[in-house]
A and B are shown apart, each in its own frame.
Chain A
Amino acid sequence: QQPVQSPQAVILREGEDAVINCSSSKALYSVHWYRQKHGEAPIFLMILLKGGEQKGHDKISASFNEKKQQSSLYLTASQLSYSGTYFCGTGALSNSGYALNFGKGTSLLVTP
């Protein structure tokens, strides 16, 4: 039930762009994106609901293709503060439809 994230890890230089993908084998109601710094709790970034919308938050945006059951997180002009592990969480039509199932995460390191 876990969605699949790719890539597993990314190393960027400050100012470069990155894309993180999340795909599910199940029909989705929603996709959430969270970022976690080492030793801390995950922090909410954004939610996309079914309807194929795209959202933006500063230089971080995301899209949701409901038909393909996929979402992508776009980080543009990356900053050092973007470093961390990014998780997508999906709400699927399943026994745990009320709750999110998370991917294994994508580790992002932004270097000076």
Chain B
Amino acid sequence: NAGVTQTPKFRVLKTGQSMTLLCAQDMNHEYMYWYRQDPGMGLRLIHYSVGEGTTAKGEVPDGYNVSRLKKQNFLLGLESAAPSQTSVYFCASSYLASGTENSPLHFGNGTRLTVT
């Protein structure tokens, strides 16, 4: 049982380049989330999805786009990477809304992105 899988694990980009991070879950979870983690800042919500075909903005959405075309996948795109987007990105999923229900988050192992 794979759980939540993120690809790639590591990536180095130059300023202005674009890329897509892929998150896949095999637990049939309705809700999916993208967080970024920076030293001393904790986990900050970028975007989330409450079901296939839906997306919503979190705390720090600027510079990112997302898509949820299939229930099991949640893609995070960087259109024009900036050094400020150097971070560790975590995808997570939950069966129900994590904020309002008894439904824990299941995290992927993270993607370490460096923008030079």
CA of A49 to CA of B103 in the docked complex: distance in angstroms? Answer: 10
Contacts of A100 in B (CB 8 A): 33, 45, 98-99, 105
Q: Take A91-B98, A99-B48, A99-B98 as given contacts and tell me if A44 and B43 are in contact as well, using a CB distance cutoff of 8 Å.
A: no
* A-B residue pairs, 5 tightest by C-beta: A91-B99, A41-B107, A104-B42, A102-B43, A98-B97
In A67-100, which residues have CB < 8 Å from any B CB? 87, 89-92, 95-100
Interface of B is mostly: loop
Cβ contacts B78-111/A at 8 Å (1 or 0 each): 0000000000001000000111111111111110
How many Å lie between the Cα of A95 and that of B59 in the bound state?
A: 9
Residue from A43, A87, A91, A105 within 8 A of B100 (CB atoms): A91
In the complex, A54 has a CB within 8 A of chain B: no
Q: Contact at A102–B35, with CB atoms within 8 Å?
A: yes
What is the size, in residues, of chain A's interface with B at 8 Å between Cβ atoms? Answer: 29
Q: Judging by beta carbons under 8 Å apart, are B99 and A40 in contact?
A: no
Chain B residues packing against A (C-beta within 8 Å): 31, 33, 35, 40-45, 48, 50, 56-59, 90, 97-110
> If A29-B100, A99-B45, A99-B48 touch, does A41 touch B56 (CB 8 Å cutoff)?
no
Residue of B nearest to A91 (CB): B99
Which of the residues B50, B59, B102, B108 comes within 8 Å of A98, measured between beta carbons?
B50
Q: Are A30 and B58 touching (Cβ within 8 A)?
A: no
Say whether A99 contacts B43, CB under 8 Å: no
Residues A44 and B105 in contact, CB atoms below 8 Å apart? yes
Is the beta-carbon distance between A99 and B104 smaller than 8 angstroms?
no
Nearest chain-A residue to B100 (Cβ)? Answer: A29
Q: Is A111 an interface residue (CB 8 A)?
A: no
